[in-house]
Structure 1
Amino acid sequence: MALQPHIQLSQEMTSARYALLPGDPQRVDRIVNFLDNPEPLGQNREFRAARGWYRGVEILVLSTGIGGPSTAIAIEELRQIGVTTLIRIGSCGALQDNLALGDVIIAYAAVMDDGTSRTYAPAGYPACADPHLTWELMAQVRQMNIPAVCGLVRSHDSFYTDREAELDAEWSARGVLGADMESAALMTIGTLRGLRTASLLNVVVAHNGCLDSSINDYVQQETLCQQGEERQITLALRAIYSDSQQGGQ
């Protein structure tokens, strides 16, 4: 099979059925440190790819860049090379005061407040993660005893609109845990294409802080955020292995 046009991968390069999807290309390099026999597969635009093995299970790691459009491209092209299970390894801003930097959110569904999801499906279409994957992730959380919570998130398209504070307050009042830019697209396209999806979000911005000060906090409290990232990676890998032993993929 020819290379996919954007991610520049083919079935000849990897037979992985599981993929981890960070947004940041640099996070690919950190994720593969958790894998055996890591192998870089190249980069085109925002799509950096590598593969490795976790307890004998081949895992593809591909960055998606920022936002729904590039995430959608990655999902569609990964499907073409045989990937069937995709877990986002992302970050988010908290929308609840009880969430701390480094906490992990397991998103079981996402508000479709982005353009990509609503291009694929009408606004009333539910953007939901795969229930079995979500259950498996929660089972691993209990075994690992890590700070994690399962709930709703909101996916949107911009950090810097004039209404960000107002929108955050509205969705916080509705019980939404955090905000990112990719989960809704991942879940919507996954359901439409018959793929299994899940989204793990590391809290890197606390609730009720201004954006500039929160970004400074992110730098100053880098250790907390790094610990959260390591937890979400380990959580995803453990869930993938358990799923594979139950006949997943």
Structure 2
Amino acid sequence: MTSDLLPISRIPRTGLPEHAVVVGAPERAADTAELLDGCVRVAQHREYLTFTGTWKDVPVVVASHGVGAPGAILLFQELADAGVSTILRLGTAGAMRAGIQDGSLVIAEAAIRDDGVTQQLMPPEYPAFAAPEAVLALQQAAKEAGAQHHRGVVWTRAAFQPGWLELPGAYARTGVTAIEMELSALLVLASARGLVAGGALVVDGANADELVDIEATGGYDPHRKVVADGVARGVRVALDALCLLAKEDGK
């Protein structure tokens, strides 16, 4: 007999809203869910914590996917299996271009596939691109919120170890904006499954070693007020962008 719950995240196979915001940390998912009306926790298993509720009368899912693309893509897959058609990732990232301030948003147009998992699923030539409507919705929501933001290509990288990162010259010359760990997996899965997907990333430091003196700055520290304030803004931007996308869908 088939279970009514999907095996990895333990979310229901049916009945979820079609629009979702995904975040890395379970506690961030819980904090985001507290903003929703009629919030209900629908699943909790491993790093996957999932809620439903409404934001400005739009039914939404909020779920955590943990750290790293191999685990995150399991949630993305199960959300798609459960009928979710639009997924926006709200995460944190290290700036890779001078002048991008901590706490600001980077809206991803595409991602470099160095994620450690999609290379095993799709040919390396297959692109990781955000849905244009997702990029525009995130940009509009950021403007309406007065949130400082940038658009560009991000680098999704499996390895995370400040002090060990070497910035490829081509990435520096072409203005790659930020580095994070999960978005390209979402974008590849979404395009392969016919979903709408995008991502907005809150800058929590300069993670390209050429841009920061690790010893002088005391090292990578994402637990600062400027970052927390940026995440709080970013969550609302992502939820507002979902509403804009839902209106386009006629929901």
Question: Is TM > 0.5 for Structure 1 vs Structure 2?
Answer: yes
* 1:63 aligned partner: 64
Q: Does 1:188 align with 2:218?
A: no
Distance in 2, Cα, partners of 1:209 & 1:245: 42
Report which stretch shifted further, 133-142 or 182-191: 133-142
Displacement, 1:50? 1.2
Task: Report the aligned-residue RMSD.
Answer: 1.9
Q: Does 1:200 align with 2:211?
A: no
Report which stretch shifted further, 100-109 or 119-128: 119-128
Report which stretch shifted further, 134-143 or 105-114: 134-143
Match of 2:234 among 225, 232, 235: 232
Match of 2:97, SS state, is coil
Distance in 2, Cα, partners of 1:63 & 1:168: 30
Displacement, 1:201? 0.4
Which residues of 2 match residues 1-249 of structure 1 at below 5 A?
2-12=4-14, 14-160=15-161, 163-164=164-165, 166-167=166-167, 171-206=171-206, 208-210=211-213, 213-216=218-221, 218-219=222-223, 222-247=224-249
Report which stretch shifted further, 42-51 or 153-162: 153-162
Which residue identity is paired with 1:22? V
The answer on whether the counterparts of 2:20 and 2:88 sit within 8 Å (CA) in structure 1 is yes
Match of 1:83, SS state, is coil
Structure whose residues are more often helix by fraction: 1
Distance in 2, Cα, partners of 1:158 & 1:138: 29
| Structure 2 unpaired stretches of 5+ | none
The answer on whether the counterparts of 2:6 and 2:13 sit within 8 Å (CA) in structure 1 is no
Displacement, 1:108? 0.9
Which residue identity is paired with 1:209? V
Report which stretch shifted further, 30-39 or 79-88: 30-39
Which residue identity is paired with 1:132? E
Report which stretch shifted further, 239-248 or 175-184: 239-248
Match of 1:215, SS state, is coil
Displacement, 1:206? 2.3
| CA offset digits 1:210-232 (Å, max 9, x no partner) | 4573424x33xx21111111111
Match of 2:231, SS state, is helix
Q: May I ask how many residue pairs the two structures share in their alignment?
A: 244
Displacement, 1:162? 7.6
| Structure 1 unpaired stretches of 5+ | none
Displacement, 1:145? 2.3
The answer on whether the counterparts of 2:118 and 2:188 sit within 8 Å (CA) in structure 1 is yes
Match of 1:78, SS state, is helix
Distance in 1, Cα, partners of 2:191 & 2:214: 33
Displacement, 1:248? 5.3
Which residue identity is paired with 2:55? Y
> TM-score of the superposition, structure 2-length normalised?
0.90
Match of 1:232, SS state, is helix
Q: 1:49 to 1:167 in 2, by over 3 A?
A: same
Q: 1:247 to 1:43 in 2, by over 3 A?
A: same
Distance in 2, Cα, partners of 1:248 & 1:157: 37
Which residue identity is paired with 1:75? F
Distance in 2, Cα, partners of 1:16 & 1:211: 43
| CA offset digits 1:94-115 (Å, max 9, x no partner) | 1011111100000010001122
